[in-house]
Amino acid sequence: MDTQEEKKYLKMLHLNPYAIKNIPHPTEEMKLLAVRENGLLLQYIGDPTPEIQAAAIENTPKAIRFLADPSPEIVTAVIKKGWNNLEYIKNPSPALIRLALQESGWAIRYVPNPSVDLQLLAVQKNYDAIKFIKDPAPEVQEAAVKSNYEALRYIENPTREARCSGVKENERALPLLREVTKEDVIEYLKLNILSVKYLPPSIVLSDEEWEAILTDVLSDENVEEKYVRNFINCRAFDRDGDVYPMNKLQFIYDRGSKKAKRITVDEKLSFK
Q: Where are the domains of the chain?
A: 1-103, 122-203, 205-272
Q: How high is the pLDDT of residue 192?
A: 98
Q: Give the residue ranges of DSSP H helices in the chain.
A: 3-15, 28-37, 50-59, 72-81, 94-103, 116-125, 138-147, 160-169, 182-191, 207-218, 225-233, 248-255, 258-269
Q: How high is the pLDDT of residue 1?
A: 58
Q: How high is the pLDDT of residue 272?
A: 52
Which residues lie below 8 Å from residue 86, measured CB to CB, with a gap of 6+?
79, 92, 96, 97, 100, 107, 110, 111
Q: How high is the pLDDT of residue 6?
A: 78
Q: How high is the pLDDT of residue 52?
A: 95
Q: How high is the pLDDT of residue 14?
A: 85
**How much is the pTM?**
0.82
List of the chain residues with pLDDT < 50 = none
E strand or H helix that includes residue 194? none
Q: How high is the pLDDT of residue 177?
A: 96
Q: How high is the pLDDT of residue 191?
A: 98
